[in-house]
Amino acid sequence: MNKEELTSGLVSIVMPCYNGEQFIDETIKSVLNQTYQKWELLVIDDGSRDSSASIVQNYAKDDQRIHLIQQRNAGSAAARNNGIRQSKGQYLALLDSDDIWLPGFLDSQVRFIRQKGSVCVCSSYLRIDEQSNEIMRPVMAKAIITSKDMQSVDNVGCLTGLYDQSKYGKVFLKVELNSLLDDYAFWFDVIALEGVAYGNPKVLAKYRVRKGSLTSNKIKLIKKHYKFYRTQLHQSEFTSLLSVAKWAYAGVKKYY
């Protein structure tokens, strides 16, 4: 789809799902509750073995804005790319099947991106546990996020990002990253288009922290970050180590 064929004002919400039956109902309801109603929801079922697909299908029967796309298991990056390819909206948002938007998320973010005249914005967000109870303190969005800022720390909460596809066209995730830090790479590439993004100070979403999440293995994650800085951002060994240290410090501040 060319940039010219995108529907003005429409938000394409891309939601990858793999065995997400536990939370996806709550997540979809948070989309349905949006005060901004010009959206399409593309749920990409990545070979789930549970009832995720049937849950989505039931919603799709009642609301033509919801679309179920099924594929063989290929990872979240491939699933997101599948949704991005089929997206029709001027704006793109990535929402995981266990996260939640507050009712004013889309309305506030669409207004904000238009106000800033930017191709990318994000927002502040809450953190919740598996029982949807609020934990820790909110993560506050950095007001101005530059490409330099993104060299060591991902300053975009993926569930809060909004990208205007109408100016530079569609951006895709790097499947070779094996679904770890692929969202970091995506927002890095988006922000690199103009060198800057903006953070909405309003708390507009809820990120679910899960005990068994992929990022819970800290040693593995440190190694992945180092490799990411070296191979994707092409930093030197010293700069990569420095970036890992900055990322670790930001993580301590964020979680402790």
Do 93 and 53 have their domain in common? yes
Do 254 and 223 have their domain in common? yes
Do 122 and 195 have their domain in common? yes
Contact by Cβ (8 Å): 10, 91: yes
Whether pLDDT at 242 is above 50: yes
177-191 pLDDT, tens digit each: 887 799 999 999 999
* Long-range own/partner contacts, residues 18-21 (CB < 8 A, 24 or more apart): 18/45, 18/46, 18/47, 18/48, 18/52, 18/73, 18/76, 18/79, 19/48, 19/49, 19/50, 19/52, 20/48, 20/50, 20/52, 20/97, 20/98, 21/48, 21/50, 21/51, 21/52, 21/55
* Band (132; pLDDT cuts 50, 70, 90): very high
User: Cβ–Cβ contacts within 10 Å for residue 1, how many?
Assistant: 12
What's the pLDDT score for residue 180?
A: 77
d(CA 39, CA 35): 11
What's the pLDDT score for residue 214?
A: 46
* Band (220; pLDDT cuts 50, 70, 90): confident
Do 243 and 202 have their domain in common? no
Whether pLDDT at 21 is above 90: yes
| Length reported for the chain | 256
85 pairs with which residues across the strands?
none
Domain holding 75: CATH number?
3.90.550.10
Crossing angle of the two packed helices 182-192 and 76-86, in degrees rounded to 10: 40
- Which range in 162-166, 212-216, 236-240 is most confidently predicted, on average pLDDT? 162-166
What's the pLDDT score for residue 212?
A: 63
What's the pLDDT score for residue 3?
A: 65
What's the pLDDT score for residue 218?
A: 75
In the chain, how many domains are there?
2
Q: What is the mean pLDDT of the chain?
A: 94
Do 60 and 112 have their domain in common? yes
What's the pLDDT score for residue 254?
A: 73
Two structure tokens written together for 197 = 């993004």
Do 101 and 126 have their domain in common? yes
* Band (251; pLDDT cuts 50, 70, 90): confident
d(CA 162, CA 197): 10
Do 235 and 116 have their domain in common? no
The predicted model scores a pTM of 0.93
Do 211 and 224 have their domain in common? no
75-90 pLDDT, tens digit each: 999 999 999 999 999 9
Residues spanned by the domain of 110: 3-216
- Give start and end residues of each alpha helix (H) in 87-169: 105-116, 165-168
Do 113 and 227 have their domain in common? no
Do 17 and 140 have their domain in common? yes
Whether pLDDT at 215 is above 60: no
| Token pair 């402790």 in the structure block, residue | 256
Contact by Cβ (8 Å): 198, 156: no
Whether pLDDT at 216 is above 60: no
What's the pLDDT score for residue 224?
A: 86
Do 181 and 237 have their domain in common? no
Mean pLDDT of 63-83: 97
d(CA 150, CA 137): 22
Do 212 and 243 have their domain in common? no
